[in-house]
Each structure stands twice: as C-alpha cells, then as structure tokens.
Amino acid sequence: MLEKLLRIIATGGVHSYKELARRLEIAEALLDTILEDLVRMGYLRLTHESCCASCEHCPMGDACAVGHAGRVWVLTEAGQRMAR
C-alpha cells in the first residue's frame, strides 16, 4: 500500500485526502497515519503545514483542488526511487 500511494503521488497534481483514501480503499484517518509514516521513513517531505489560501501566488494555484487549508507533501529523492 505504501508503494501504491507513492506511485499515485509521483504522477503529480493535487490529490485530496478523500480521493487518495478512495483509491487506496482505506479510511482518511489511516491515510493520515500512512503519510506520517512515509515522512518518518524519508519518502515524503511536508512542504507546507497549511495552505495559505493565497492561490494567485502559489505555483500549484491553477491545479489546486483543495480550496481550503491543507497540508502539502512532495516526494523526496528516496520517495521518487521507491515509486519507480
């Protein structure tokens, strides 16, 4: 499941908790735990603790589907390797 989540994230774009949980067929609470584990393992890096809601200045503003405060993660080099 960890590798599947990394592969989904590696495709790029913005993914909501609801979408990721649905694709993995798990509860959003479990998804949160998995994301925290991937950060601890060095595969993901939290870039922003919350969205600043200033989409016009955000490089993801055009693609963002969050529309409210949310955390933003990116793959680390190790995460990119694992996703391949």
Chain centre to alpha carbon of residue 48: 11
Question: Which element (helix H / strand E) includes 48?
Answer: strand 44-48
Residue 21: predicted pLDDT: 94
Bridge partners for 72 per DSSP? 48
The half-sphere exposure of 12 on its side-chain side, counting CA atoms within 13 A, is 2
How far apart are the C-alpha atoms of 61 and 35, rounded to whole Å?
A: 22
Q: According to CATH, what is the number of the domain 2-83?
A: 1.10.10
Residue 40: predicted pLDDT: 95
Residue 68: predicted pLDDT: 47
Per-10-residue mean pLDDT, the chain, length 84: 92 85 95 93 79 58 52 87 91
Q: DSSP letter for 42, please.
A: T
